[in-house]
Chain A
Amino acid sequence: MPTFRFSLAMLLAAVAASSVAAQTKTPPDLTGVYEIVSDKTVLPGGLKNLGSPAGVPLAPAAKDQMKSVDVKTDPARHCQPVGPFRMTARQENKIELIPATNGTIVMLFEDLSRGVMRTIYMARGHRADLGPLWMGDSIGKWEGDTLVIDTNSFGDQTWLNEEGAQHSDAFHLIERIRPILNGKYLEYKVTAEDPKALTKPYTYTRYYERSKTEIAQDNCREDGE
């Protein structure tokens, strides 16, 4: 019996140590430029893009509301920010991640007009004093090699998709970003929750390839879009 107790204690200690090690492990360096892979691309292991903002399960009231929306007023068509949920799924999207020494990770978009900038705060909780925001208030933490971003405080300026689905002020995103295939790619999974507009949480996945190219100065309106 003492031997069993000793073994159990050793096992528990080992589990605790490995859990602590996982939490205290140096997070991966995500610094760099990444370009979204096309929906046709299949990465090693059968990994590929799944779902899209068009697939959100709308509540009946949100479906009705969508019918009255004129898609010509889509912020994307007017070079306005589309918000993180739509932006990260956009074809040809290119992002730059900059982990800064001030406790933030900055995400910049080549399509600056629509993507703008996101600041992910790694050393604080959500602020209660922030008004409705286009990009929301993002806080992050590391779970092993995965960056988990929690975003709330969205306003009603952005849409859920180009069909005109609207979210409410209860819109909440949980994003999980991790490097895969020796850091050559990023896996990006986002789950959208909105108890007022969606019948259930919805998740889509995108893969981004690390790029050696520079971010270009891309001015949406200048291109006549």
Chain B
Amino acid sequence: MRKTCLAILLLSLSASVLAASNDPPSKDWTGFYTLSRDKELAPLGLKNVNMDLDKTIVAHLQPWAKAKMEATSGSADDTGAVCLPDGVFRNPPFAGRFLWLPTKDHITMVFHEINTAGVRRIYLNREHPRNLRPTWNGDAIGKWEGDTLVVDTIGFNDKSWLMSAMEPHTEETHMIERMRIVKDGAYFEIVTVVEDRHALTSAYTYTRYYKKQKDEITENICGDAIDIWKDWRNQALKPQLDRARQVK
């Protein structure tokens, strides 16, 4: 009798876990989100983790990767500085403005810096294809775990940098993000883990919060004023490069 009860309990528990893992949350996440600063988050009991991400990443670089980082010539090697794609690692933790657009079988993330960070599509009903062609933003698949979307991304090319200090990575890079909305939908939390057995000594992680905006997403064409953009990127990049290179 006790065995039967236990079996029924286990069955019902596993059924509820299965149901939870397959169902998207009832709340609609659609919207435009922008990165929140800690000053705004502190009263809410929230905090961005590893805000100085360059420092975190440099501490995890393998010797060859650190040597390559030091050998880069800053913005000259920065594809984003000339409005080319620069991958999906740098934008979300630093600039972090995106549109979240769910459909039945995938979610589309459109970054405000659309020329450089581009568009990510997170597929919900399939696995990673075999023989992936490496791309700037990789191949992203998502699974629901209760109210959290777990996004697994592989298939990156090795042309982008992990952050602004030009930390390299390889095509083996694997990114796992746990995404959920908090504070009754007012904030979007992303906890990211990045691993790359060929470029990093171990995985690094960071957390960011994005606030849902009422404003419309504005048109943002990088080439609109390419010289101004390039100058800005140079100015913004230099202190980060200098700082990262001092990390031992």
Contact = CB atoms under 8 A, between A and B. Distances in A.
A, B: real partners: yes
Interface of A: 31, 78, 80-81, 96, 98, 100-102, 106, 108, 112-113, 116-117, 119, 121, 133-135, 157, 214-215, 217, 219, 221-222
Contact of B121 (A121, A134, A214): A214
B121 A31 contact: no
B114 A116 contact: yes
B121 A117 contact: no
Nearest to A221: B84
Q: Which label, helix, strand, loop or mixed, suits the secondary structure of the B interface?
A: loop
Given A116-B221, A221-B84, A108 B119 contact: yes
8 contacts: A80-B221, A98-B101, A98-B103, A98-B108, A106-B99, A112-B115, A157-B221, A219-B85
Given A100-B101, A215-B121, A117 B84 contact: no
Contacts of A215: 119, 121
A113 B121 contact: no
B55 to A, nearest CB: 30
A81 B223 CA distance: 9
Nearest to A104: B216
Given A81-B221, A215-B121, A113 B30 contact: no
A130 to B, nearest CB: 8
B118 interface: yes
Interface in B108-123: 108, 110, 114-115, 118-119, 121, 123
Contacts of A121: 216
B184 interface: no
A170 to B, nearest CB: 19
Contact of A217 (B115, B123, B137): B137
Given A119-B216, A222-B85, 9 more contacts: A31-B104, A96-B108, A98-B108, A101-B28, A102-B30, A119-B217, A157-B221, A157-B224, A214-B123
